Every structure is written in structure tokens, then in C-alpha cells.
Amino acid sequence: MRNREKILVSGGGLAGLIAAVAFGDSGYEVLCIDPTDENKFKKVDLRTTAYLQPSQLFLQKIGVWPLVQHSSTPLEIMRIADIAGEKLTVKDFNSSDISDAPFGWNVRNLDMREGLLARIKALPNVVFETGLSTASTTSRSTMARVTLSNRRIIDCKLLIAADGRDSPIREQAGVAMKRTEFDQSALSFSVTHELPHNNISTEVHKVGGPFTLVPLPDFEGKPSSAVVWMDKTEDINNIKTLSPTAFNAAITQRSGAVLGKLTSVTNCAKWPIISQLADHFFAERTAFIAETAHVVPPIGAQGLNLSIGDIETLLKLAKSSSDDIGSLTVLKKYHKIRRPIAQSRVIGVGLLNRASKADGPIAARARALGLNAIHNIKPLRHALMQLGIGLR
């Protein structure tokens, strides 16, 4: 199948690249652009992403998963530990309770990026150019006209804005968004540890936000995990200045030593914690996807998974509209389907974050009671697990 309608994807972060591959795989002519030099991604993005079941299936469908599978680690159990109260509370949520497959698979962002670039190379109808950005856009009812930073003009049926949380395209379109600041930041880095992770992802709650360990393949023969440590921005800034020895002691202590002694094996990158939701997920001839449309704190692996849902929906709608992939009808339907889903995630993850960062014995007791209730009431536990991985 060949469909020669031109699509411009503005932004070559993970979401933009996945969109380029997905539409290219369906036969559309796609140009994806990003101003960032490829080497910068290698230096900056030390994160990993847990691809939940629906995302993994979609990546399989568009030919990406076989290229990254070898570097993925399955997540079979999600363990939640609360070390704030007088008593340690630990609850396990096992994927076998609700499915034959793991909850998800953890992949380093750099490995996923490499897989996506390899898939793009294999698609003759997809071009990815770096060192280029969208300078301005105008639209008519039949097409969008995009002027690039090198003054090249691109006319396209559909402009997919994947240009991030501060999206210039969204701003130029005058679409408002609601932003919540949490006065928290996250540190992401990788560690080795004394005890094996046994494919268990562990979220340790105390105060300030969760400390999450997500399994990775062994590193230099030792068990390894990716860490996201969320805490008050002031505390994160102080932690970043610690010497390597003091840093390793601090992370071991904050983890409650659930995996024994932790040793950091990468640099660490700091990310601000916000949530954000655009009022509209479209403008004329333009679809807003991923962080252009929504941002959630990194709890429960929701962010990029939500974005992959955007791409899957937009592709389905485009394919079912035989005549015009960027028509107002398609874009309105996209908005109507995706915005409520994103809104519920922004609200849900925001509440989890507030519960996790709450300080003091009363908050710790409330968290323990809530966790016990969710874990002990089987239908509630199953429903929340299914919701969490996007099966509901």
C-alpha cells in the first residue's frame, strides 16, 4: 500500500520518531525534523522507559520491537514499599494476576532511539533530518504550510506537532494549556546493586516523592536498575552536589536498601516535575501529540505510553478517512478520543504524586491504609492494575 500524502512531524524526540515510523509503516510520505544534534541525545537522555503491554504491541506492529527486544527487561512484579511509617509496608502486584504477559518491558531511551532510527532507515518513504526546526506555520483548510529554519517551505496535509512541552507550534496556534508545578524534580541515573531484581520494579515511598528502581539487563556482570528519584527541588539540588561515595550512601539509604547497597554507574540528569494539559489537541491541519499535548510526572510509567496511544489513535483515524488525513473531521475526532484519556491520567498521576510526597506520620498511615485496601480487595486490585497498564 502506498499513500503519498505528505506528513510533517515536527520534533524528533521518542514520540516524534515513533509517529514518523508509524505513519511511514502505513505508506505515508513522512518528513520528521528536529534541531537537536544526535550526539546531544546521547549525552542528555539517561532515562529508561517502561513500555506497557499496549505500547509494546503497537511497537511490534510497526516493526520497531524486534530491533529493541534484545535490550529490554520484562517487568513481572510491581512492588510498592512505604518506609515512612513505624512499620515497613510492602505490597506486590503480580502481572500474572491479570495477564499471561509481563506488565511491560524496560528499555533505555538511547536503545529505543537507535531502534527507531534503524527502522526509519529501512522505510524509503520516511526522512529524518536533524539541525532543522519549524520556524513558522500557516494553514488553510486544505493544507498546512510550514517554513523551516533553513527557509525551506513544506506543504503538508497533516502537521504532527511533537515538539515537546514548550511546543512553539502549539504556542503559535494560540492553544492554551493548564500547567501545574509541584516544586519537585527528578534525578534519573542507573545503578548496580547487591541483590538480583528478579524482574521486579520497586517504588519506595517515604517523603518528597517516590524512589523507583526499574530492572535493566546486568551491567558488567552485576544486577542493574534504572532509578528515578523524585523529591523537593531544593533537596534534589543538594543531592546532586554530593561526592560519589556520599551519593551512593544517600541512594542506598533512600531505597530502604531493598536491593542491598546501590552503586551509581552513570551520570545523573535532573528533570523538573510538572503536569500539563493542552485545552485542544488540534489546530487547523495540526495534531498535537505527546508532551505537546500532555505532561505527567514520571510515576507509573504513563507519559510516553500515553503518547503512543495518541499516535495509534491518530493513525487509525487517518487511515479510516480515505480522502483527507488532516481534515477537521479527523482532528476533531482525535481530540475527542484522546483528551479525556490524557486528562484522567494527568489528574490520577497528580493525586498519586501528592499522596507520595506528603510528609508526617498521618500521611504515612493514610498511604499504608490505602495501599493495604487496594492490595487486599481483589477486584479493585485487578481493576487498578489493568487501568495502570492501559488495558481499560
Ligand X SMILES: Cc1cc2nc3c(=O)[nH]c(=O)nc-3n(C[C@H](O)[C@H](O)[C@H](O)COP(=O)(O)OP(=O)(O)OC[C@H]3O[C@@H](n4cnc5c(N)ncnc54)[C@H](O)[C@@H]3O)c2cc1C
Which window, 33-41, 92-100, 311-319, 345-353, contacts ligand X (CB under 6 A)?
33-41
The answer to whether residue 9 forms part of the interface with ligand X (CB under 6 A) is no
| SS3 of 150-217 | CCCEEEECEEEECCCCCCHHHHHCCCCEEEEEEEEEEEEEEEEECCCCCCEEEEEECCCCCEEEEEEE
Contacts of 323 (CB under 8 A, 6+ apart): none
15 binds ligand X (CB under 6 A): yes
Among 7, 12, 281, 364, binds ligand X (CB under 6 A): 12
Nearest distance in Å: CB 79, ligand X: 16
CA angle 18, 22, 23 (to 5 degrees): 120
Chain residues 146-205 in contact with ligand X, contact rule CB under 6 A? 162-164, 168, 186, 188
- In three-state secondary structure terms, 110 is helix
Nearest residue (CB) to ligand X, 27 versus 35 = 35
120 touches 18 (CB < 8 A): no
Residue with Cβ nearer ligand X (217 or 260): 217
Nearest residue (CB) to ligand X, 16 versus 115: 16
Give the number of residues in contact with ligand X, rule: CB under 6 A.
Answer: 33
Under rule CB under 6 A, residue 304 binds ligand X: yes
| Closest listed residue to residue 51, CA positions, set 36, 34, 33, 71 | 71
**Contact string (CB under 6 A) for ligand X, positions 220-249, x = contact:** --------x---------------------
Binding of residue 34 to ligand X (CB under 6 A):
yes
**Residue closest to 153 by CA, chosen among 143, 162, 161, 166:** 143
- Minimum Å gap between C-beta 345 and ligand X is 10
Distance separating alpha carbons of residues 59 and 66, to the nearest angstrom: 9
Between 89 and 305, name the residue whose CB sits nearer to ligand X.
305
Q: Does 210 bind ligand X (CB under 6 A)?
A: no
